[in-house]
Amino acid sequence: MVCLASMLAVAIIAGVYGRSSLPPLPMKDGCYQVLPEVGIFRVEGEAIILQFPEFMRVLEVREIAPPSAKYFISRNNGTESVTYQSEGRVQQSDKELWFLPAWASDSGEYTCTYRNDTYCVTGSITLHVYESNSIDMNKLSYWWSVLEGEKVKFNCPSLSRFNKTDRQIEWYKDSNSTPLQLDRGTFILPAVRRSQAGVYTCRLTVLINEQRYKVSRVILLHVQGTDPAFPTTVPEGFTSGADLHSSSTMSTVNVFGPPVIVSPVNGTIFESPHGSGLELVCQVLTECQMADSTVVTWLINGQSVASSYLDRRALQGGRRVTRLSKGCQIEMRLIISHITEEDKRTEMKCVTQNKNGRQEVLAMLQLEDSTFTWLVVAMVMVSCFLTVGSVFLYVLFKPKRKKKMDYFLARQSSTFSV
């Protein structure tokens, strides 16, 4: 019985924590809840396609597809929720929400719900739309950190859902109104110098419902090296759209100690089962006056996320600054939609830098060994088999004892003989 109970317990553990199982989703107000998406930061007057990639990934991984279920996208507007139709300036298109174009008043939290009469699962995302004169570049920009002398190559990010027009993507550096001469819209620097660091803006025209809309993205390129030609502070803001103030508006800061990575620690191993998602958070402690100019980024095998092999499965963002009793803490999230065999022993590096110094922490990505649970099951079964076999052999070859009467007679006989 003890052996059977042990086997049953191990089988239950294997079923709950095995390779194909996933922890249950939390529930609120009758709906299963998916973790919030990484927030989106955009500029008003441009087209925005709002997606829910983590939400859709959870539906796919968990094979959630109840019959006759539909998608509903809504916005929490005070005490009531506003749902959207398939027409108008803000319209729902299947599993997406289109802003044609977006305004600053569109900022807020949006919820995607997948439901029928008996089943409901929901996820959320926060959209920030900035006015042209109040842009927060630290949140709007895609951060890119490289070493001097490296080859820099990247495309205009997050454009996969747009239909591009015949006009080529144009790139601009800092406040220069003359576009850079690039090959097919790809930004390439064969051997980057520190003087080439700065803010790069890509602009293009897209076609949605036979209408043309503007779209832009901003990349903040940081180059670590010895060339002092470019300052390491960050421009304070934009003049209009995604343009920047001239370099003369760059803020100066007091000199403090270098930023410190408090999590993860060097040598951390992130384990995850095959097919499951993983979220990594890098936490950096720095002086609050240096928070805006402190870079925090993730590198994958020494490359930026966008240029790594994980480009289509990883998303970096959600930068958050929290004021503590001693300094400020900066968080940068890296979300990997699903882990595969290809990710085994992948090098994950968190890098932080400001004008006072640089620090990096090395971690590793590793697949959980799904054979461990079944090895335990096998060991328990073998142990049970050996136990049963030992009991059987003991009973079979157990030596027979003489009866007590014979013992007393023998003892009595020996006594009389003395």
Please state which of the ranges 25-34, 321-330, 371-380 shows the lowest mean pLDDT.
371-380
Task: Give the architecture-level CATH label for domain 255-369.
Answer: Sandwich (2.60)
DSSP, collapsed to helix, strand or coil, labels residue 292 as coil
- Domain range annotation of the chain: 1-18+372-418, 26-130, 133-252, 255-369
More confident residue, 220 or 379: 220
**Per-residue pLDDT for 10 more than 70?**
no
pLDDT of res. 225:
65
**SS3 label, residue 34:** coil
| Matching fold, domains 26-130 and 255-369 | yes
Classify 413 as helix, strand or coil: helix
Only one residue has tokens 């009973």, namely: 395
Burial class (CB in 10 A: 0-12, 13-18, 19+), 323: exposed
Q: What is the pTM of this model?
A: 0.56
Q: Is 408 left (phi over 0), alpha (psi -120 to 50) or beta?
A: alpha
Lookup: tokens for 276? 């499951």
C-alpha–C-alpha distance, residues 82 and 84, integer Å: 7
Q: What is the pLDDT of residues 32-84, one digit of tens each?
A: 888 787 778 899 999 999 988 878 877 877 777 666 778 999 998 766 678 88
Integer Cα distance of 234 and 199 in angstroms: 9
Mean pLDDT of 278-284: 89
Residue type, 116: N
Domain 133-252 listed as CATH 2.60.40.10: yes
Level-2 CATH architecture, domain 26-130: Sandwich (2.60)
Asked whether the predicted pLDDT for residue 403 surpasses 70, the reply is no
- Read off the pLDDT of residues 118-146 as tens digits, 9 standing for 90 and up: 788 999 888 999 987 777 666 677 777 77
Res. 97: pLDDT tops 90: yes
Token pair 């042209």: residue: 132
| Residues of the chain above pLDDT 70, percent | 73
